[in-house]
Amino acid sequence: MFELLHPLPPDPILGLNAAFKADTNSKKVDLGIGVYKDEEGNTPVMKAVKEAEKRILTSQATKAYIGPTGAPAYNEAVAELILGPALKTSLGGRRITMQTPGGCGGLRIAAEFIAQANGGATIWVSDPTWANHKPLIGSSGLKFNSYPYYNYETHSVDFDSMMTTLAHVPKGDVVLLHGCCHNPSGADLTPDQWQSIRDLALKQNFTIFIDLAYQGMGDGLEDDVIGVRLLAESVPELIIVSSCSKNFGLYRERTGAITLICQNEREASAASTLIAAAARANYSMPPDHGAAIVQLIREDPTLNLMWQEELKEIRNRINGLRITFANRLTESGAQHDFSFIQKEKGMFSFLGITKNQIQKLINEYAIYLVDSSRINVASINDGNINYVTNSIVEVISKE
Ligand code: LMR
């Protein structure tokens, strides 16, 4: 039976990372995968995480099963991080939060939940969106459509076109939005734009589904969820999938959650059984370690402060790099205007160069970036910035 198998093409992001690792060029730079790197090019374990791990190691009394919905205290801690204490309290029993294996696990469970609630639903994703949204959500059988999001000429959100398309989304369909730090473009919605989308969702009766993978990596833990909270307090139904991979640096620990806001407690209670059953059928229950770390950090004021300070340092470094990188491209003689990079949020921006130029950067300079021209700004440092900017300018000016 296995002789019938044909290999699949490499994953657009993870495949690039594998190619980078295999490259022997000493000048190689990985601007591909969305992993935060410090000035030395490392992705260190956060100090608050290390400290929490030490405490867990000495205090953990059992490794018994935790159950499909994860640790209740972690679920509440995550809900409070996303929604804030006041909104979380006011939503009461209309809100449920359940631990998932990373944001990816959450997206997959959300897709299965939507398929159960309305198998005919179409999921509307931004054009462009994260490369793994369609594989993760689509394998549950749901259909896709897309709405215009990024204008490659103005390097900003094409809000008018987005709203024109969303105005035709019918009741029962689901619109997937990025909570902050849009992946891959870095172009975020303004609070006014969130409000307009909220008004449209109420008018059209479509359901909003938010992928929140970068809370705290853009403007701050509170500012990054202005849109999420606006919706959570004013729409009848909302799906939020969140990840602790980036803001806690827990990538390999697979720590995420799904939060549902339902019209009433009865629906929330029914929904919770569907989510638990989907988890049980897929992976039985989520891994514990990352969630235990997040729970402890959020419950312990000293660790929480330590974590927030570290996250602020990460955010400030990325925002500073955006400014330096755009300036350095101009100083290196770039004819293109790259100032838009300074305004975007989170780890990603599009360089806006051609596929041919991207291939040249990879093959001739060992500078790896996704074939949409998405770069991870956090991979730039003092040691590689001149090489990266000079190479980009060289490649662009040759075409
Ligand atoms: C990315 O977009 O590069 C990250 O979210 C990593 C991944 O799994 O794709």
Q: Does ligand 1 lie within 6 Å of residue 33's CB atom?
A: yes
Residues with Cβ within 8 Å of 256's Cβ and at least 6 positions away in sequence, in order, are 99, 100, 101, 102, 103, 104, 105, 106, 241, 242, 243, 244, 245
Residue the block writes with tokens 């004021």: 301
E-state strands within the chain:
29-30, 95-101, 122-127, 143-148, 150-151, 156-157, 174-178, 207-212, 238-243, 255-261, 348-350, 367-368, 374-376
DSSP state of 121: P
Sign of CA dihedral 307, 310, 314, 320: positive
CA of 390 to the centre of ligand 1 (A): 26
DSSP state of 327: H
Mutate to test the pocket of ligand 1, among 16, 31, 130, 243 (most ligand atoms within 8 A of CB): 130
pLDDT digits (tens, 9 = 90+) for 94-151: 999 999 999 999 999 999 999 999 999 999 999 999 999 999 998 889 999 999 999 9
- pLDDT, mean of residues 263-269: 98
List domains and CATH numbers for the chain.
11-44+304-397 (3.90.1150.10), 65-299 (3.40.640.10)
Residues with Cβ within 8 Å of 309's Cβ and at least 6 positions away in sequence, in order, are none
User: Is it the case that residue 399 has pLDDT exceeding 80?
Assistant: no
User: Is it the case that residue 395 has pLDDT exceeding 80?
Assistant: yes
pLDDT digits (tens, 9 = 90+) for 276-321: 999 999 999 999 999 999 999 999 999 999 999 999 999 999 999 9
Q: Does ligand 1 lie within 6 Å of residue 183's CB atom?
A: yes
- The bridge status of strand 255-261 relative to strand 238-243 is antiparallel
pLDDT digits (tens, 9 = 90+) for 330-386: 999 888 899 999 999 999 999 999 999 999 999 999 999 999 999 999 999 999 999
CA of 263 to the centre of ligand 1 (A): 33
Q: For residue 370, which atom of ligand 1 is closest to its CA? A: 3
CA of 184 to the centre of ligand 1 (A): 9
pLDDT digits (tens, 9 = 90+) for 41-76: 999 999 999 999 999 999 999 999 999 999 999 999
pLDDT digits (tens, 9 = 90+) for 141-167: 999 999 999 999 999 999 999 999 999
